[in-house]
Amino acid sequence: MLNKPRDDDAKDNEVISSKNANIDQEITMGVDENSSLSPYEEKAPATHDYNKIQIPDGGYGWVVVGCYFFLNFCTWGSNAGFAIYLTYYLDSNKFPGGTKEDFAAVGGLAFGAGLMFAPLINYFVFRTSVKISIGVGIVLQGAALLLCAFSTKLWQVFLTQGLLISFGLAFISIPATNILTPWFRKKRTLALGLGAAGSGLGGVVFNLGMQRILEIKSLRWALISQCIIDTVLSTIALMLIRTRETAVQETTKEKPKFFDPSLLRHYVVWFLILYVGTTMLGYVVLLYSLSAFTVSLGYTQKQGSVVSCMISAGGCAFRPLVGYCADRFGPVTVGIVVHAIVGILCVAMWIPCRNLATAIAFSLLSGALMGSIWPLLTSISSRIGGLNKLASIYSFTWPCVGMCAIVSPIIGLKLRSNDPTVSNAYVNTAIFSGMGYYGAALFLWLIRGYLIARDKLAIAAKTGHDDGELHLRVSVPDFLKELFNIGRLPRKV
């Protein structure tokens, strides 16, 4: 990542250097030094864009969006298909002696074990390159699926479909998450939403497709088919993807760190970590529970897979829309609204759900919004720390994702009622998921108050959020005051 600038970075800089020069000129001409207005109220560009880092906002970036789409399709989309395998394991005797907690633990390991080593994977990326890391991940993921296809004992499933596939996902997802951000600014969250839609489409394909192969062939052929699809599409994306880290490093003149403990001195980073944790507790429980919940109502595994894939269908269709709204109204503000809505849906629709039609409607509506963390998190993280500290911030948030993802499937199963007289065995599970999303909305609200207070300082200092503004100190009284600011804001938050 620290190699000399490539030609594509140089061309990008030349294309947009004149644009940034014009912006600087407008800012200089637009501010009256003798104005009695406060700095953030002075006449200046509507976005108060003082960023020095040059962003193409398009061009080859749209090709990178496509690459990011397929990487998400083959990682998180592929992983979403585990709900089908979980239902199959629970209802069959493929691995004798395995309990429901064992198979839920496999799903948790697949989602989160590798992410807990995010700082070490970031170090590997810094020592090699983004493409090498993604290549290693593709090999690990393919090997995991292929080995699992020939597994005959439960411990082999833990090692392959659990642990090994998790490291494959981590080596792909951790560097891939940071690739798209330096290509876009005004359309950043829209681009991230389009890329994140890949996991939604992947969830639909792998839920329905692998369920069909399980029915007409076997578990082995389902896993082999998944291996072929993931490996081929991920390799094509790897060949086309390009990064802009050199352009970012040249502008900031600051050597990026793969792990920066000093970030923990800023309470807004703790708010971000807690937001990620509460979201993942609700998200993974909801993601892995709906298929089994549908079967518990008396429906078939196939019908359960349809309900499960509606979550992915909702994400595929609506994540770009969430990204568009976030670019228009601010990622934190939109995040508060959508996470609160998911919490309401869990309580108002999941608890009274008694039939397939309601289950499908709930999974589609919740699926449209429950995965909003994926397009929003990078935009919020870059707003907090700047582009040069994204990797360091993710060294704290990814382990949090991993820890919560490992325990969430087990929590979901433990909360399930075993009383045969109850009409909905997943009431406690629904309440838990809803509370997770309410907590996420709360921590986003705290982040919003901090960013509004800091933006006022930033406008006065003429700094740009992509360049990094953590050096601006926000007092606690100012932070508390801006928690209830719903009026005119210095920037979109």
DSSP letter for each residue of 189-206: HHHHHHHHHHHHHHHHHH
Same domain, 373 and 228: no
Q: For every one of its 493 residues, what pLDDT tens digit does the chain have, with 9 covering 90 and above?
A: 444 444 444 445 444 444 444 434 443 333 444 443 344 444 434 455 666 677 787 888 899 999 999 999 999 888 877 877 877 887 777 787 778 778 878 888 888 889 999 999 989 998 888 999 999 999 999 999 999 989 888 888 899 998 999 999 999 999 988 888 888 888 888 999 999 999 889 888 887 888 888 888 888 899 999 999 999 999 999 999 988 777 666 666 666 677 888 899 999 999 999 999 999 999 989 987 888 889 888 888 778 878 888 888 898 889 999 999 999 999 999 999 999 999 999 999 999 998 999 999 999 999 999 989 988 998 999 899 888 888 889 999 999 998 988 888 788 888 888 777 677 788 999 999 999 999 999 999 999 999 999 989 888 888 877 777 788 898 889 899 999 888 788 888 8
- Do 330 and 446 lie in one domain? The reply is yes
Q: Which of 164, 186, 205 is nearest to 69 (CA)?
A: 205
Determine the distance from the C-alpha atom of residue 104 to the mean position of all C-alpha atoms in its chain, rounded to a whole number. 21
Q: Does any domain span residue 48?
A: no
Residues 165, 170: Cα–Cα separation, whole Å: 9
Assigned token pair, 431: 């309440």
Label residue 416 exposed, middle or buried (CB < 10 Å: 0-12, 13-18, 19+): middle
Q: What is the CATH classification number for the domain harbouring 123?
A: 1.20.1250.20
Residues 271 and 224 both lie in one domain? no
Residue 45 lies in a domain: no
374 and 455 both lie in a single domain: yes
Same structural domain, 168 and 274? no
Same domain, 200 and 316: no
Q: CB of 333 within 8 A of CB of 487?
A: no
Last residue of a domain, one of 220, 251, 282: 251
Q: Are residues 75 and 197 in the same domain?
A: yes
* 411 and 324 both lie in a single domain: yes
Q: Are residues 314 and 209 in the same domain?
A: no
187 in a structural domain: yes
Residue 479 lies in a domain: yes
- Expressed in angstroms, the distance from the first to the final Cα of the chain is 30
Distance of CA 101 to the CA centre of its chain: 26
Q: Is residue 7 part of a domain?
A: no
Cα dist from 236 to 133, 222, 251, whole Å: 15, 22, 31
Instruction: Give me the domain span that covers residue 182.
Output: 55-251
How far apart are alpha carbons 288 and 130 in whole angstroms? 30
Burial of 110 (0-12, 13-18, 19+ CB in 10 A): buried
pTM metric for this prediction = 0.83
Whether residues 359 and 416 fall in one domain: yes
